[in-house]
Amino acid sequence: MKILVVGNGGREHTIAWSLLRSPNVEAVYCTPGNGGTATMANCFNLDIAVDDFQAIAKAVKEQDISLVVVGPELPLSLGITDYLQQHNIDDERGSRLGSISNRRIAVFGPEQAGAQLESSKSWAKDLMNEAQIPTAKSATFTDATSAKTYIQEQGAPIVVKADSLAAGKGVIVAMTTEEAIAAVDSLLAQGFTTLVIEEFLAGEEASVLAITDGQTIRPLIPSQDHKRIGEGDTGKNTGGMGTYAPAPIVTPELMERVQKEVLEPTIAVLKRRGINYRGVVYAGLMISPTGEPKVLEFNCRFGDPETQVVLPLLDTPLDELLIACTQQKLAQQPPIKWKSGSAVCVVAASGGYPDAYEKGKAIAGIESATAQGAIVFHAGTTLKDGQLVTSGGRVLGITALGENLQDAIAKVYPAVESISFEGMYYRRDIAHRAL
């Protein structure tokens, strides 16, 4: 079969890479893809923006695509699944035989209503409260005065969030009331019209990605992301500077609680609201010092860079799981199989990220990294006159597998060190919390 992956980041490169490892997959098309997908065998980039739904639908028909996998949250929030599923693919053979035989475009990714799980933090909070999912106490505001009054009443530390999509940078953990008030002004000045202000939760973060067909929901292995730019988890929030899986803090017992207390209630409320959710439910968790899980946020797609460690450990063909979700047959699938061992991903970022950074820097050493056994996933790269150059803040995700976490760490950093581009920055302490 042929599969189309929407997106151009490290997550989408990883999805394409994983799909191509299946004997069922003939080719993968990426819209628009990046320098990594452009140079991968049996993978083809199409110069189509993620929000050009008409062109994507046309490509699905022209390339005889069997499945569309939507990577980023933006097209999901804009209704790409709704749009594509309104279009049928003509079965030319059926037409020639004189019968009417059309099929809907199969899409892995929730419809616009379900994507509110990520596109609106206030909507997601309402859902959590309805489902009685453990989460932080919060309040929603549309004006600065009320938000600041609430902050002064609650005190610090406190968390200020943009209600809508913010590319992973709309969350400010304020340790003082002054920082929180400044965060309100900053987010409103950036054009966000609604803010969610939450109590600060202490503990350790973890990510649980789960796949669902709207009826059944199955978790993937847990991972842990490093959001802060600086070592020791300091500095500004980013889209993620590295990750590892499985995360030891999420024990089998805790995973069972997440399944029963978070994932299953989420799907139950979505169904009750009449939302047919087929895709990923990503639960960002805070694990308290006493081992209690609370949901920090939901996302409606594969995590980035969590995907870069979860999918390399997946043993079950990814296409089989995704198709089962689109056909609402996930319950009929056998248990998901995983490779033994651990995976670690280190993100190589442009100098200056997450603030202003330069693009177009030549990248060298990827062949050396892969020769050492690492998998190099491209996040912000492009080909320019045959030369791979930087095109984003997070440029590469270098992943290594090992028999255990220490082994994976020992393998990944020599591979990272063999790669270079002007201004390259990476954290040297990924997975430190698990050691």
* Domain range summary for the chain, segments of one domain joined by +: 2-111, 137-199
CA distances from 335 to 217, 261, 331, 415 (A): 12, 21, 9, 33
Q: Locate 416 and state its tokens.
A: 């990272």
Q: Report the alpha-carbon distance of residue 249 to residue 243 in Å, rounded.
A: 14
The CATH-assigned architecture of domain 137-199 is: 2-Layer Sandwich (3.30)
pLDDT of residue 169: 64
Q: Which residue, among 195, 217, 204, has the nearest Cα to 144 in the 3D structure?
A: 195
Q: Which residue, among 49, 42, 28, 36, has the nearest Cα to 10 in the 3D structure?
A: 36
Q: Locate 418 and state its tokens.
A: 């063999």
Apex CA 396: angle with CA 282 and CA 183, to 5°? 55
pLDDT of residue 236: 87
Gap between the terminal Cα atoms of the chain = 42
Q: What is the pLDDT along the chain (435 residues), one digit of tens a residue?
A: 999 999 999 999 999 999 999 999 999 999 999 999 999 999 999 999 999 999 999 999 999 999 999 999 999 999 999 999 988 665 443 333 333 345 678 999 999 999 999 999 999 999 999 999 999 999 999 999 999 999 999 999 999 999 988 766 688 889 999 999 999 999 999 999 999 999 999 999 999 999 999 999 999 999 999 999 999 999 988 999 999 999 999 999 999 999 999 999 999 999 999 999 999 999 999 999 999 999 999 999 999 999 999 999 999 999 999 999 999 999 999 999 999 999 999 999 999 999 999 999 999 999 999 999 999 999 999 999 999 999 999 999 999 999 999 999 999 999 999 999 999 999 999 999 898
pLDDT of residue 170: 81
The matching CATH number, chosen from 3.30.70.940, 3.40.50.20, 1.10.390.10, 3.30.1490.100, for 2-111 is 3.40.50.20
Q: Report the alpha-carbon distance of residue 239 to residue 95 in Å, rounded.
A: 47
Alpha helices in 132-285 (DSSP H): 144-154, 177-189, 252-258, 264-272
Beta strands 67-70; 43-45: pairing state: unpaired
pTM score: 0.94
Other Cβ atoms less than 10 A from the Cβ of 74: the count is 18
Apex CA 72: angle with CA 263 and CA 64, to 5°? 105
Question: In the Cβ-directed half-sphere of 22, how many Cα atoms lie within 13 Å?
Answer: 23
pLDDT of residue 89: 64
